[in-house]
Structure 1
Amino acid sequence: MALSPRLEFRQAQSLTLTPQLMQSIRLLQLSHLELNNFVEDELLRNPLLEREDGAEPADAEPGEAVERSTEITAYEDTVDRGDRIQDADSIADGYDTAVENVFPDQSAQDQLNPASRLDRNGASESGEAPDIDQFVASRPVLSEHLEAQSNLILRTAADRLIARHLIDGLNEAGYLAIDLDALAEQLGAEMGDIEAVLEALQGCDPVGVFARSVPECLAIQLRERDRLDPMMLKLLDNLAMVTEHDKIGLMRAIGCDREDLADMLAELRNLDPRPGLAFDSGPVETVVPDVFVRRGPDGAWQIELNSEVLPRVLVNRVYYATVTKQTRAPAEKSFLSDCLATANWLTKSLDQRAQTILKVSAEIVRQQDGFLTHGIAHLKPMTLRMVAEAIDMHESTVSRVTANKYIATPRGLYEMKYFFTTAIASSDGGVDHSAETVRHRIKQLIDAELVTAVLSDDTIADMLKQEQGIDVARRTVAKYREGMNIPSSVMRRRQKKNEQQMA
């Protein structure tokens, strides 16, 4: 049979990820903040989308006037309603005195910027509305705060240049994270000049910045308080013994008695080992739950989505029909058709996302009923596969739904990922135990131990196996203990003995 090219038609089924399907999958793993930003962008891009908040009630009769709450713009709230707020002159007249006696800062600002004075209606003399951003307090930034001080204490331009590089070399805690030798080579400056600038900058506010280690940071703060004596210097040289709670060794190394050591340790507790964190300019985001779990009147658990964080949008089909009738250009009709398809897809995807979150949350609550009722000791091991099989979904879908989502329960606010823990086999062949439950039990055993019977990791593993049938190895106990920042049995025994001798 001769080989020759030919055309054949075959009919087959296959899964294809369209762009809209990929976008729907991506919406599942977005947090409520990211989702609201995405919806805001779509509202600006698509003229057929509008928020559901502005829609009229569906049960309103035709021709019936719908009462709307009075809404005012920012300009009306600032200018047109400014007559409710008295200006500085009116307040001063009421007290029968001058403005500078009531508002000393106000008179100075008016002299610097006379055009910024407001009349009784809240508007300036030029007729423009005041800028609200001028009255918003900004959070201080560590670099700007230190640069302003360096310009006052350093005289030469060379010293200010060195100071700028030193300020750029600070980490978020306020410690100097650059090598002075490398900086001297980079700037072509003498090492003595850089050290002199560094010494001057170490006196800036907040006290303790520009330190290169924790002992140096504490020493700078103690020097500022005039408490850096030779005995305190010895204590700073032995900070490792402080973390080990070896008070007997500290008294021997420093040469002090118990009262002096207690006073010096109390002095250290009043210091700030990370002074730069007070100027952290990162935004503070409040964790808002996506799902609420409450106990119903009949004793069953009620799962409810947080409607406050769910964006609700509608498709304005009336506007689409009106504009379509007046449109003649093919490009404009194609644009409107694309906008309608995108709007329909978005509303459907948002509804499907909400239903999926509710479905996954209901299954989590069903499987973790023991935890919600009795506490962490009854937290069951649960995997993504278990939830996916129960609700007939793919494991990757459950993973995306639980990412960046929080659930509010009577036990507290938890991330959905918290409930998915590995299983630890039971020694008697019973029900598996959750890893989080094992951690909780290990902490309980360590908290209840006596100074004469400090539990080793092997002893804890044996106790877990005998008491609760938890088959866990010694290295697993050590890993969980270190994850909870609990020291070893040797360290805990030393701490308890020192505390007993100091008592």
Structure 2
Amino acid sequence: MSMKLRLDLKLSQKLIMTPQLQQAIKLLQLSRLELQQSLVQHLMDNPMLDELPAEAEENEGSSADEQGEDAAASASSNSETAESEESTPEERDTPDEASAAGWEEYFQTDRRTGSGERQSSSSDDFPSYEQNMRKATSLEDHLLWQLSLSGLSEQQKVIGRLLIGNLDDDGYLRMPLSEVISGTEFAEAEVESVLKDIQTFDPTGVGARDLPECLLLQLGHLGRSPIGSLGARPGALKGSIIEAIILHHLKDLEKKQYARVAKALDVTIEEVLQATKVIEGLEPKPGRPFDNTQNYVIVPDVFVVKNEGEWVVLLNDDGLPRMRISPYYKQLMASGQSGSTETKAYLDERLRAAQWVIRSIEQRNKTIVKVVSSIVKFQEQFFEHGVQYLKPLVLKQVAEDIGMHESTISRVTANKYMYCPQGMLELKFFFNAGLQRADQPSDMLSSVTVREMIRKMVAAEDARHPLKDEEIAARLREQQVLIARRTVAKYRAEENIPPATQRKQFF
């Protein structure tokens, strides 16, 4: 058998991810905050890009110069624009780049100078927003203030600052004292003494090393409770029933195994319940009131409103910089004073990059509106009547509806929000699995709707006799929802609803 060597020619097509295409895809999946940061970065990196002033933005509709600018920005991409309305940047083979030698035509209709369009810098004279904000007092500052007013010696205050600096956000000292004083000359007994002083500071329970110690510190401030005193059995337990539960039965208390606690302490269940009321009033995290975690306001990417009987999708571009080609460089290049060949080549490359950024942003906005409009079409009953009418929806349905790829839909809906009559919702909220209905096998019920049904059942249940997962499943089946007990348990856990044994109340 002989082997022959030969050459074959083969033609094939493949999609090449150019840097410009990668940039367009990246812009598509950015959240609103990330997009704002990215646009600011582009404005800093590319001298050709300029932010449209507010006063110019208001008059741009009637300005022939601005209209000429917009027309020029897309003059070299007419064929691409027609295609872009049907597909995303990632679905086109290669981007249609601006002509390298066409910059003279690009600027020939605009002879303005950029000197008169600078925004006033008078705003720099005012303090920033952060400077006007009131700084919340931290737990560390609150404790250091009390330490400075205490009667401790200077060395004890040094130890106190060391201890306070090692407290976590909840107010606990999680590390051993030997590790705290490692590398110092302080004795552990001396540090222990200062820690006892810090444990008398506000908030009560601060400086504890574990949960039982934290609760006992608070109990000590309340005074010894006479509830369930075990004075009739001296030596059996030290202190009250409350202290015994805190020291030995917190796990049983968490699982609401009151009978087990009563049997172990040889007391009645009623006495255990009275002690439990006191323990539930204590604070397991003393540093909670000083938590400086800020709740950031979510700005929606789109608004969905009803106008003349139809649902309309409005893009929210408030706060995002409106970009254009810099008037200064327009005037410079149009006058033919761009300098050497290298300078002209650099400006030409920056022009193409600026055009691509502007086109990518426009395409991103069109794609978001197109995807949200499709979601609104599928979920119209939800917008009309609420979550109980939410339908099961997958990415493939929207992709087929608007003629795009599923990966594009996934990028568009990631980290983006919609404001509608039902509230502020993430776009991912509308994509969910479905459960079959017994009365209408062809009609699926959204898993989000079923979760809401479970939440309402639990909210309306008798706290003394909470619904078990099997009972919830049976009630849902009575409402023609085909669901298994394990699915109910899954949805209940996803809604952070504890099991029936932990929801049961005895008082």
Q: TM-score range by the shorter chain?
A: 0.7 to 0.9
The superposition leaves residues 243-293 of structure 1 with CA deviations (integer Å, 9 ceiling, x where unpaired) of 456778878859699799769836853x54323233334454211111111
Shift of the 169–386 alpha-carbon distance from structure 1 to 2, 3 Å rule, reads farther
Matches of 1:197 and 1:385, distance apart in 2: 64
Amino acid at match of 1:34: E
Aligned to 2:322: 312
Aligned residue runs from structure 1 range 184-333, under 5 A: 190-224=187-221, 226=223, 230-231=239-240, 232-234=242-244, 236-237=246-247, 238-240=249-251, 243-244=254-255, 265=277, 268-269=280-281, 271-298=282-309, 300-316=310-326, 319-323=329-333, 325-333=336-344
2:442 to 412, 430, 433: 430
CA contact (8 A) 1:290 1:309 kept: no
Greater alpha carbon shift after TM alignment, 137-146 vs 360-369: 137-146
Matches of 2:405 and 2:416, distance apart in 1: 18
Aligned residue runs from structure 1 range 117-136, under 5 A: none
1:361 to 359, 372, 378: 372
Greater alpha carbon shift after TM alignment, 347-356 vs 442-451: 442-451
2:455 to 429, 439, 443: 443
Shift of the 457–138 alpha-carbon distance from structure 1 to 2, 3 Å rule, reads closer
Aligned to 1:460: 472
Matches of 1:294 and 1:263, distance apart in 2: 54
Match of 1:178, SS state, is coil
2:174 to 174, 177, 186: 177
Shift of the 321–388 alpha-carbon distance from structure 1 to 2, 3 Å rule, reads same
Q: CA offset at residue 395 of structure 1?
A: 1.3
Greater alpha carbon shift after TM alignment, 310-319 vs 360-369: 310-319
Match of 1:73, SS state, is helix
Task: For structure 1, list consecutive stretches of 5 or more residues without a partner in the other structure.
Answer: 79-130
Aligned to 1:46: 46
Matches of 1:403 and 1:239, distance apart in 2: 42
Aligned to 1:32: 32
Amino acid at match of 1:475: R
Match of 2:298, SS state, is coil
Amino acid at match of 2:290: F
Q: CA offset at residue 374 of structure 1?
A: 2.0
CA contact (8 A) 1:234 1:254 kept: no
Shift of the 202–15 alpha-carbon distance from structure 1 to 2, 3 Å rule, reads same
Aligned to 2:123: 74
Shift of the 337–184 alpha-carbon distance from structure 1 to 2, 3 Å rule, reads same
Shift of the 275–332 alpha-carbon distance from structure 1 to 2, 3 Å rule, reads farther
Matches of 2:213 and 2:317, distance apart in 1: 51
Shift of the 279–475 alpha-carbon distance from structure 1 to 2, 3 Å rule, reads same
Matches of 1:209 and 1:294, distance apart in 2: 50
CA contact (8 A) 1:320 1:336 kept: no
CA contact (8 A) 1:32 1:309 kept: no
CA contact (8 A) 1:456 1:489 kept: yes
Q: CA offset at residue 17 of structure 1?
A: 0.7
Shift of the 488–139 alpha-carbon distance from structure 1 to 2, 3 Å rule, reads closer
Shift of the 254–339 alpha-carbon distance from structure 1 to 2, 3 Å rule, reads farther
Match of 1:438, SS state, is helix
- 1:421 matched to 2:419: no
Matches of 1:204 and 1:177, distance apart in 2: 18
Aligned to 2:23: 23
Taking structure 2 as the reference length, the TM-score comes to 0.73
Shift of the 134–379 alpha-carbon distance from structure 1 to 2, 3 Å rule, reads closer
Matches of 1:364 and 1:20, distance apart in 2: 29
Task: For structure 2, list consecutive stretches of 5 or more residues without a partner in the other structure.
Answer: 66-110, 227-238
Match of 1:50, SS state, is strand
Match of 2:303, SS state, is strand
CA contact (8 A) 2:379 2:391 kept: yes
- 1:395 matched to 2:406: yes
What's the % identity of the aligned pairs?
34
Match of 1:486, SS state, is coil
Matches of 1:220 and 1:9, distance apart in 2: 84
Aligned to 2:393: 382
Structure with the greater relative contact order (CA < 8 A, sep ≥ 6): 1 or 2?
2
Greater alpha carbon shift after TM alignment, 305-314 vs 225-234: 225-234
CA contact (8 A) 2:159 2:194 kept: no
Q: CA offset at residue 224 of structure 1?
A: 4.1
Q: CA offset at residue 346 of structure 1?
A: 1.2
Aligned residue runs from structure 1 range 400-415, under 5 A: 400-415=411-426
Cα RMSD for the two superposed structures: 4.0
Amino acid at match of 1:211: A
Aligned to 1:109: none
Match of 1:275, SS state, is coil
Q: CA offset at residue 217 of structure 1?
A: 2.4
Q: CA offset at residue 15 of structure 1?
A: 0.2
Matches of 2:221 and 2:284, distance apart in 1: 14
